[in-house]
Structure 1
Amino acid sequence: MKILQKTLLALTTGALLSVSAQAAINYSGQPYAGVKVGQYSPDDVDDDAVSYGVYGGYKFTSNFGIEAEYLTTGDADAFDEISEKSEYNADVYGLYGTYDYVFPNTALYAKGRLGIAKNKIDVDYTDKFDSSENESFGYSDTGVAGSLGLGYNITPMAGIEAMYNFYPTIEDDGADLDSNGITLGAHYKF
């Protein structure tokens, strides 16, 4: 099990086992902004990429809101063989409707997001013996995206969230490339 997965599992378990004495607070009409880090996982690659980004939103009611996100990744190996290798990186731009369910008498909440996002993957192919074969290309698609996760309000003005995310499927020469990821975010409410 990778370190990020262990961290998210420990965070989720700790959040579920902890019960806060403070009552649930109504966060309607409140903007927020935060940062996140995680793991971006497209199908059929050797390595998952480290992802990081920013997000922000506005809560219209205590349960419903809107959220925008920008997520990018570092370079990761799609494959690395004796004679050739390929690296990729990705960008995701999304706009989501959100729903939060606050567990009674705790600072713990469940969160769902559903919306539209652009998923863009850039690929660098390298032939280790013939550099004239090297090339760079990209794929992108816009479609339905979403997330499910748990959050914890550390204070009335700050919280953390662990999310499982699915991104739009990219069509590559008739084949579908699915991508998902996990993220850990921290945000501040204004």
Structure 2
Amino acid sequence: MGGPPWHGPARVQHDEQTPGRSTPAEPGRPAARDGFSFAGGSRMKRWLIAALALAAVSVQAQDAGGQWRLGAGAAFGDFKTDDKLFDDSQVGFQFTGGYRFNNWFGIEGGYLNTSDFEVFVPSGQTGGPLPGGGKAKIQYSGFHIGVVGYLPTPSEQIDLFGKVGFYDFDGDLKVNGVTESSGKADGAMAGAGATISIAERWAIRAEFDWFNLDSAELWAVVLGGEYRF
């Protein structure tokens, strides 16, 4: 982790530019920050591996008599950059879908939208990512997939679980209302949570997810429901 201000999630720069120099600013628009970026990495390779793995286990699951699960909830997100420039909490949403093979293991994918995390710098500042002050917003949305492990509990109505996997997000950075940078971000994620059955096919679900961004961290507490079939 670490790095200069605005070196958060690594960047795909849409405008060609000389290495080490900022893109010239248009009238009324700040220059692009070389330090702040989004990165895609080897997304296609990882998604292909995940798709093949899901296809393989789904075939086995048909014979095992497992259980499909669909969920939705409010995502209370917290986003912090290592340089402490961004440190904000917002409410977004998340959808999940997965398959539980047995009492111990399952697989799950989801879609997360964080809403806009914001930072305001007072006018009069010199240097830094917002010289002269202003407001910056960053928002993430995209998919994640992982393997789920379940822990036994004394009650049949309560399930405890943990999961590890990876995410593939789109990111957008706006400065003073103008899109400054956009691209892809991917990496490792992990989570833990619990479900409480309230009916034959329905459950309350709560979880805590962590996403490892470059020079930043994203946490999300998701509260919602789950349908099983």
Q: Shared topology, TM-score over 0.5?
A: yes
Q: Which has the larger radius of gyration?
A: 2
CA distance in 1, matches of 2:202, 2:224: 11
Contact 2:106/2:147 (8 A) holds in 1:
yes
Please give the residue correspondences for 1:156-167 in structure 2 after superposition, counting only pairs within 5 Å. Answer: 156-167=200-211
Q: Is the 1:119–1:167 contact (alpha carbons within 8 Å) kept by the matching residues of 2?
A: no
Does the 8 Å contact 1:118/1:168 carry over to 2?
Answer: no
Count, aligned residues: 153
Could you say which residue in structure 1 is the equivalent of 2:72? Answer: 35
Deviates more, 1:75-84 or 1:153-162: 75-84
- Residue 221 of structure 2 is aligned with which of 179, 182, 190? 182
Write the letter of the residue equivalent to 1:99: G
| Partner AA of 2:122 in structure 1 | E
Does structure 1 residue 118 correspond to structure 2 residue 159?
Answer: no
CA distance, structure 2, for counterparts of residue 186 and residue 168 of structure 1: 25
Question: Measured at CA, do residues 104 and 151 of structure 1 come closer, stay the same or move farther in structure 2, by a change above 3 Å?
Answer: same
Alignment partner, residue 107 of structure 1 = 157
- Which amino acid is 1:185 matched to? G
Q: Tell me which of 56, 66, 87 is aligned to 2:107.
A: 66
Which runs of 5 or more structure 1 residues have no equivalent in the other structure? Answer: 1-26, 128-133, 171-175
Per-residue deviation, 1:102: 3.5
The answer on whether the counterparts of 1:67 and 1:96 sit within 8 Å (CA) in structure 2 is yes
Q: Which amino acid aligns with 2:67?
A: Q
State whether structure 2 residue 94 is matched by structure 1 residue 53.
yes
User: Which structure has greater strand proportion?
Assistant: 1
Report if the CA contact (8 A) 2:79-2:88 is conserved: no
Percent same amino acid among aligned pairs? 22
User: Equivalents in 1 of 2:119, 2:169: separation in Å?
Assistant: 17
Which amino acid in 1 is paired with 2:93?
Y
Q: Unaligned 5+ residue runs, structure 2?
A: 1-63, 124-132
Following superposition, the deviation at residue 75 of structure 1 comes to: 2.3
Equivalent-residue separation in structure 2 for 1:34 and 1:135 (angstroms): 32
CA RMSD of aligned residues (A): 2.1
Shift of 1:120: 3.5
One-letter code aligned to 1:31: W
**143, 150, 156: which is aligned to 1:93?**
143
